[in-house]
Amino acid sequence: MLLHGVGARGAILLFLLLLRPADVNPYGTDGETCSGQATQRQACDRNNTAVDAMIYSVILPTYNERENLPIITQLLHDAFSDEEIDYEVVVVDDSSPDNTLDVAKRLQQVFGEDHFRIVSRPGKLGLGSAYSAGLKASKGGRVILMDADLSHDPKHIPQMIQVMESEKVDIVSGTRYKSGGGVAGWDTFRKLTSCGANFLATFLLSTGGASDLTGSFRLYERSAIELILPQVGSKGYAFQMEILVRAHKNGLKIGEVPIAFVDRIYGESKLGANEIVLYLKGLLNLFFTT
């Protein structure tokens, strides 16, 4: 289970973090604060940040994730440390009103700047731009995009790495729709909505056989995500779908690993009627333009 052995530890860690004072960094000239081993200018500018092929960068966009962030950070640390893999977590926070940023700053003190970087933005600027900001602040030769709400279990990361290396693919996508994958914690309506959205996408779009177009747990070669991100214009949940469409269109190879998706335990889901409308608009736009 995702929280097995970590729930109490995460709760204690969060409690200790909340008692510690956080350093406050002013916004940079672009409205972003970058905190980490590099200087603010270097962290915000990809051209000045040296890439290390041996490091895995995990980009976590956050908005109201103060309860989840300490737990997912510990889970990531355990997953990489157990395999003796060098890594960094890059948190991109869009001015969460629940003070997620303060928790992130305290986590940086606990895990160190080598393993924990922060990009603070002045408002909700969109998922795509959050990934771009995180990518600029990162230094890993391979990049993992995943949710911070505990829906994605870091235990799958070693298998994703193994598939990337053995199958020589550019992207490894976590899939809920192959044998061994699945969803826990959703009601029937949510499951039908997700399956229906994914079926429409796989039926209408050319993605090279990818089975889960709406999932957001993926491992990328850095060169692949740097190529794709500037081409993606969709917002909301359609963003994930367009990434795989553009990847296939650019001739990139995609592998898959079955994952267990667990509905969030803390906080509220961001899925609403507006997200569904954006998804349908994005789907139709891709159908007619790609």
Is residue 6 scored above 70 in pLDDT? no
> Minimal CA–CA distance to 82: which of 74, 72, 90?
74
Residue 28, C-beta contacts closer than 8 angstroms, at least 6 positions apart: 34, 40, 41, 44
List the domains of the chain with CATH numbers.
1-149 (no CATH), 151-290 (3.90.550.10)
* pLDDT greater than 90 at residue 250: yes
Asked if the model's pLDDT at residue 216 lies above 90, the reply is yes
Mean pLDDT of 117-141: 95
Q: What is the pLDDT of residue 111?
A: 97
Q: Report the C-alpha gap between 32 and 94 in whole angstroms.
A: 9
Q: By percentage, how much of the chain surpasses pLDDT 90?
A: 60
Taking only Cα atoms into account, the Rg of the chain, rounded to an integer number of angstroms, comes to 18
Q: In the predicted model, is pLDDT for residue 270 greater than 60?
A: no
For residues 6-33, one letter each, b for 16 or more C-beta atoms within 10 angstroms of the residue's C-beta and e for the rest, the string is: beeebeebbeebeeeebeeeeeeeeebb
How confident is the model at residue 265, as a pLDDT? 67
Residue 113 to residue 42: CA distance in whole angstroms: 14
Q: What's residue 237's pLDDT?
A: 73
pLDDT in tens, 36-87: 543 333 334 444 568 999 999 999 999 999 999 999 999 999 999 999 999 9
Residue with the bigger pLDDT between 132 and 43: it is: 132
pLDDT in tens, 13-46: 554 454 444 443 333 334 566 665 433 333 344 4
Residue 204 scores a pLDDT above 70: yes
Predicted pLDDT of residue 42: 36
> What 3-state class would DSSP assign to 43?
helix
Asked if 3 contacts 10 with a C-beta cutoff of 8 angstroms, the reply is yes
Mean pLDDT (whole number) for 176-196: 85
Please tell me the predicted confidence (pLDDT) of residue 29.
Answer: 34
Q: Looking at the predicted structure, is the pLDDT value of residue 245 above 50?
A: yes
Write out the two tokens for 30: 């672009």
